[in-house]
Chain A
């Protein structure tokens, strides 16, 4: 149980385009979803937290107009990287948690984003 699916797994696109990444909880309802970014040989850095039906809470230094997060249902959250540039190239990972804070987060397999 506790499967999180993330799509696509790999994206290559031109600078200036927008990219949407989907995160789905397949067998549980995720009241809270999280979006992380990981640079090579570094830790996962939390970008934002979203609760179903409400606006996302962004971490300091993360541009909310550039990284649009939508959490429209209990099983789906999306991250849209708008007007992507090469410096946005990274590994983006979502996670989902059901219910209370004493439940672990379950992660998707990540999306490798490469902006040319």
Chain B
């Protein structure tokens, strides 16, 4: 049972344009969402997070939008740069849980073309 889904395994975007990565979840108990970026043979790097009390969080070129009614979140990167090319994972947790463990999606490979 995949509680966090990233339905697009890959995305290709031109440099300077906007990248939009999508993520859907099924567990209504999730109240904390994160995006991580991962290069090959490296661990994920934390990018940005959002609590369920918000619907938007912005940090520089990265903005995360949360639509609780649709159980959907998205990561916008603008402008996209070649160095943004990586696999992006969304993750969710229910902070009221005993361990607050993260459930990860399967990732989306973003390729930013120069």
Contact = CB atoms under 8 A, between A and B. Distances in A.
Interface of A: 2, 4, 6, 9, 32, 34, 41-46, 49, 57, 93-95, 101-102, 104-110, 112
Which 9 pairs between the two chains have the least Cβ-Cβ distance?
A107-B43, A101-B100, A101-B95, A43-B104, A49-B99, A104-B46, A43-B106, A44-B104, A109-B43
B41 A112 contact: yes
B95 A109 contact: no
A112 B45 CA distance: 18
A102 B99 contact: no
Nearest to A59: B101
A57 B42 CA distance: 25
Contacts of B51: 102
Contact of A106 (B46, B103, B106): B46
25 contacts: A4-B43, A34-B101, A43-B104, A43-B106, A45-B104, A46-B101, A46-B102, A46-B103, A49-B99, A57-B98, A57-B99, A93-B44, A94-B43, A101-B32, A101-B93, A101-B100, A102-B51, A102-B95, A104-B34, A104-B49, A105-B34, A109-B42, A109-B43, A110-B41, A110-B43
Contacts of A34: 101-102
Contacts of B4: 43
Main secondary structure of the interface of A (DSSP, over half): strand
Contacts of A49: 99, 101
A101 B106 CA distance: 23
Contacts, number: 57
A46 B65 CA distance: 25
Nearest to B48: A104
Interface string B79-114: 000000000010001010011111111110000000
